[in-house]
Structure 1
Amino acid sequence: MDSEKLAQFITHLGVFNNYGSTIAQTKEAIEKGTLDPLRNDNDDRVIFEDTLKAIQTVLSQPFGVESIVAINSQFVGDSFEQPYHPGKLRDAVVDPIRDRIHVDLWPGADGKAVAYYPPAQIDERDLETIIEHWHQSKQTDEAAWTLFAELAKLQPFQDGNKRTALIAANHALGALENQNYLMPPTGRAYNQFMDHLLGYYGVGLEGGPASEHEALNAFVSLAPRRKALTLDEEIKKAQAKHEQLKSKGEAPMSQLDFDAPEL
């Protein structure tokens, strides 16, 4: 793997949890196989290790319910912003203390925070619905950001949902293999990115957008697009897709039959 690209992804993903180590520090930690180069902060170390484990775990898996659960299952580091039961789908009826969660969005007219409360009970069918949306899409960057937003809004796990959603969106795109990662923006654009994501959460609430479709489109229109792959990267992507289909018994008879990149 390209350690520079992987370091960029970890650093960008880490903005969801105030990851403070630089790309250079993260790259050095990857290459040396030690946490020492990272900022002296426990949360940075947890995010670094858990992200690497999550990527490694799902690289050989097809994208689906099991891989989404597997990603969150790797968030086992000792940090405040971690699920108490990694990989467990929330059920607030069974565990109302840990599984009944909410997301504060913005100040309300009464001075209290307007909060988004996701569904109290999540099961695999909820994930399957989002996955089906992906399979029915053109599987573009825009579709991957839609997958990210839908999964993040569902809040299927106790914590780590945006990190889970971003890794899952990249997994669906095949970006974990070719390392042409889908990443949130930096700088002031990140604030706009998060504002639109929270707007999608807050559809129908006080001060929120009226239409879920419009809110999602507003978020997706602002989310960054990836750089185009080189020809060699396109060929590797096509070969990886072929191998994935082959492992499921769905590959064409000849490698010459699979979709080649446009020249």
Structure 2
Amino acid sequence: METSYLSKQPIPTGEEVIGADIREGVFKLIQSHHVGFDRSKFISISELNQFRRLYLSSLIEKERGELAALDREVMDAIKNNSILSESFQEEQEDTLTLGERVADKVATFGGSWTFIIFFFLFILGWMIINTWLLITQKFDPFPFILLNLILSCLAAIQAPIIMMSQNRQEQKDRKRGEHDYKVNLKAELEIKLLSEKIDHLLVHQNRKLLEIQEVQTDYLEDLMKEIKKAK
């Protein structure tokens, strides 16, 4: 009759289990609680079943922890993408100089219907005043040389301002394209990383499930043996 290494009590005949027959995961768990236990030592089936249940519980808790960690990583990745996208417009606005802001305002106003209607009314009023209202004291009689000079000066000033705004818009579009590329590249890398993590997790889970099934099978076989002996 063998003696249990754990309880130091005699083991009934047929209920002894040698360490060499215990699965690796359960064996390491027993060793963590009883350092001197090795493959040549004996324990009883009831003691082995206790450690089997403890081992299954630890596997389930470990799986829960891994899933929670994966959820946190996914949320962090999503959060980082959001911050990266939102900060681009703010960075663009902060880097504008006073001249660039004025050029944008002038270009925006010069390309609007408000400017067209206002300028049309201004020219029409100028012509009416110098044609009918001021018959004796016309300050710009036909063919409106002063008006032509004003229009030429306005066009000469407005054209380079609009070109400045267009050049800055091209730079902004180029930076936006670079930013979009970075965001897309980061998203692609994160998707690839998450895909690899999911694949690894599935393989890892399959191994754990297989190991759990094997331990449960051993557990059931021992229970069936005990039931047969009881009969």
Q: TM-score, normalised by structure 2?
A: 0.23
Task: Answer 1 or 2: higher relative contact order, Cα 8 Å, separation at least 6.
Answer: 2
Q: TM-score, normalised by structure 1?
A: 0.21
Larger gyration radius, structure 1 or structure 2: 2
- Would you tell me which structure has more helix in proportion to its own residues? 2
